[in-house]
Chains A and B, each alone.
Chain A
Amino acid sequence: MKYKITPGRVIFLIIDVIILLLVAFVCVAPIIHIIMGSISSPEKLNVYTKLIFRPLGKVDLTPYRIILKYKKLWMAYRNTLIYIVSTCALTAVLTSIAGYVFSRKRMFMRNFFMLLISFTMLFNGGMIPTYIIIRKIGLVDTPYSMIIPGALSVFNIILMRTSMQNVPQELEEAARIDGATDIKVLFHVILPLCKATFAVIMLFTAVAKWNDYFSALLYLPNKQQYYPLQMVLREILITTTSDITNTQSLQNSATMYKKAIEYACIVVSTLPILCIYPFVQKYFVTGMTLGAVKS
């Protein structure tokens, strides 16, 4: 395709590119600032009031050495990874069987049950009653409260059901003639054909769990040892109640390194995800489009 190049067009394109570059800059600048700030010399970092694009003064890795010894952060890191893996596993099983049940035409009153479940999207008990129920069944202050309550969502069920409905009926019938049970049909015939949807659901679940601090705030009031990473980061960055700056190794220089330590914590907790996401980006695009088409 050829476009006639007029002066107006050129001016528009220049402005367009400038705006886009500006957006990209705004998106990436704070991230560079944090990375560079975390390895800057603390004296300069503490008095510098602009964005940082290269290390200030001599590169100083002390903050990383300090947080390496900060057990609580690594425990929380491990907890978050455990929560993500367990939640994903539970979500995988529950969403698959729910999608299977609600996509089978022979299922008794399936539309009624689907309606019953969809209703919870429209109206729910809310924060406090949910908390009371979770406390009643004994999940509060246990790691299970981080895994079970959010594992099954209506939205995921709908995605899965739609995807499973599109698998040709004949495949199931063929498998049945070969003597396959429901479990075999689901896990060996239907699920492998819904890989894309499955991957999208797993990805969204994992990211949601990674970001989640609020359920820990509600359901883990007294158990710091079960805190996910985001709760510990909240202590360090927001409520500043963390004891990291009081660790034995730096009584004298504690306040000096405070800001650099905060930055270093952000780097170790965020950089891994930022490195992974370009590779899974395309699944997000699929997921967003899937969701929009369905809803």
Chain B
Amino acid sequence: MAEINKKGKKKTDKKQYRGYIVGKHAFFHNLWVDIRRNKVLYIFLVIILVYFGIFHYAPMVGLVMAFEKFTPIKGFFGSKWIGLQNFRQFFTGPYIGRLIKNTVIIGVLDLLVNFPAPIIFALLLNEIRLKAFKRSVQTISYMPYFISSVVAMGLVVGFTKSGGFISEWVARMTGGSSQNLLNSSKWFRPIYILSGTWQSVGYGSIIYLAALSSVDQELYDAAKVDGAGRVRQCLHVTIPGITPMIIMMFIMRMGMVFSVGADKILLLYNASNYDVSDVINTYVYRVGMLDSNFGLATAVGLFNSIIGTIMLMTSNFILKKTTEVSMF
């Protein structure tokens, strides 16, 4: 609006902005002129807005299900309104403690292990001067990322069941007999986290390697003149050089600790490890899609996304304060 009015006032540039007026009803008049002038642009905008309206804003309207005894036939506005009963059912139900605990533990463990792993890998790789070796290790380490989650988790399931090589290996180390590791609550989390490491360590290091290669070479030369050895060069030049990137990535991931996705866990979990594997998102899937209790599932999902949004906004706030960049 401001832009058009501003243009309208520019009387010197009559040719380009012919048709715009100043005055009481200027806004709608000028908008109409603008629409006629930039028809295609507005058509594009409408397409985009319709898309987001259907696939992003309509589901937000659908969140009213959380307060209803929702039945698909009656729809969002015809179903029976039951207020906070769905939330009450969840908060007083038997699963809430387990779900929050598992979500936080898996999220935090994932952050603690799978966040530093690519950084360490990148630093180790950075010390190698032999280009061919460096490149081959890099290329090989990206490979697991290109194996789909279904296949990767299929491998994990195969390797950790009785007779699989990881299971046999664990049995030899601990002196027990080979068993299905995924069925024991002790092993689910390490398996889940480490399979994530396997999938993402190489791929995650790309960004740090890029940051490392942009560290100013002159700083190294200066450090050498001052008599710094390789260790001190690493501590005082290399690591400070990539610290902004590390901080940024850390805060971004911190914001997502609470949104542990359902898709990977759904592939690994089974009824015998629910006590350690069931997170909020898998519960939402089970209640909503398998039991068709849409109201309750929406309520739990809403609870999860509110916490997720708060976490994201907090981490974004911290990010802005510390590094002057922001995600949005």
Contact = CB atoms under 8 A, between A and B. Distances in A.
Interface of A: 3, 6, 9, 12-13, 16-17, 19-21, 23-24, 26-28, 30-31, 33-34, 49-51, 94, 97-98, 100-101, 104, 106-109, 113, 116-118, 120-135, 137, 148-149, 152, 181-183, 207, 210-211, 213-214, 217-218, 221, 230, 233-234, 236-238, 259, 262, 266, 269-270, 273-274, 277-278, 281, 284-285, 288-289, 292, 295
A183 B40 contact: yes
Contact of A16 (B34, B40, B124): B124
Given A131-B288, A183-B40, A237-B150, A126 B302 contact: yes
B22 interface: no
Contacts of B309: 122-123
Contacts of A28: 140, 143
Interface string B135-166: 01101111110111111011101110001110
30 contacts: A23-B141, A26-B198, A27-B143, A31-B143, A94-B48, A101-B41, A108-B31, A121-B328, A122-B313, A123-B305, A125-B56, A125-B60, A126-B305, A127-B297, A128-B65, A129-B59, A133-B58, A134-B55, A152-B52, A181-B40, A183-B40, A213-B263, A214-B263, A233-B148, A238-B150, A238-B157, A262-B154, A262-B158, A273-B146, A281-B142
Nearest to B46: A101
A289 B214 CA distance: 12
B48 A126 contact: no
Nearest to B325: A295
Given A238-B150, A292-B245, A128 B72 contact: no
B128 interface: yes
Nearest to A211: B148
Given A28-B143, A108-B31, A133-B54, A23 B201 contact: yes
Contact of B47 (A17, A97, A182, A281): A97
Nearest to A129: B62
Closest 7 CB pairs of A and B: A125-B59, A237-B154, A129-B62, A182-B40, A126-B301, A129-B59, A120-B56
Given A124-B59, A234-B267, A288-B206, A107 B149 contact: no
B111 interface: no
Contacts of B324: none
Contacts of B281: 127
B193 interface: no
Nearest to B42: A108
Q: Is the interface of B mostly helix, strand, loop or mixed?
A: helix
A182 B41 contact: yes
B104 interface: no
Contacts of A19: 124
B99 interface: no
The range of chain B's interface size is: 35 or more
Contact of B284 (A118, A126, A237): A126
B200 to A, nearest CB: 11
B301 A127 contact: yes
A129 B150 contact: no
A149 B58 CA distance: 13
A124 B48 CA distance: 17
A269 to B, nearest CB: 7
A43 to B, nearest CB: 14
Interface in B104-154: 121, 124-125, 127-128, 133, 136-137, 139-144, 146-151, 153-154
A132 B72 contact: yes
Contacts of A137: 54
A262 B304 CA distance: 37
A109 to B, nearest CB: 7
B177 to A, nearest CB: 12
Give the secondary structure class of A's interface. helix
Interface of B: 1, 3-4, 31, 34, 38, 40-42, 44-45, 47-49, 51-52, 54-63, 65, 72, 76, 121, 124-125, 127-128, 133, 136-137, 139-144, 146-151, 153-155, 157-159, 163-165, 168, 178, 198, 201-203, 206-207, 210, 229-230, 245, 248-249, 252, 262-263, 266-267, 281, 284-285, 288-289, 294, 297-298, 301-302, 304-305, 309, 312-313, 327-328
B65 A107 contact: no
A129 B159 CA distance: 37
A50 B127 CA distance: 33
Nearest to A50: B165
Contacts of B148: 210-211, 213, 230, 233, 269-270
Contacts of A27: 140-141, 143-144, 198, 202
A108 B207 contact: no
Given A49-B168, A233-B148, A270-B151, A109 B1 contact: yes
B56 A128 contact: no
Given A127-B281, A131-B288, A230 B48 contact: no
Nearest to A237: B154
Given A24-B140, A214-B263, A274-B143, A97 B48 contact: yes
A274 B297 CA distance: 38
A182 B55 CA distance: 27
A128 B294 contact: yes
Contact of A295 (B3, B294, B304, B327): B327
A21 B128 CA distance: 12
B165 A233 contact: no
A269 B143 CA distance: 14
Contacts of A49: 163-165, 168, 178
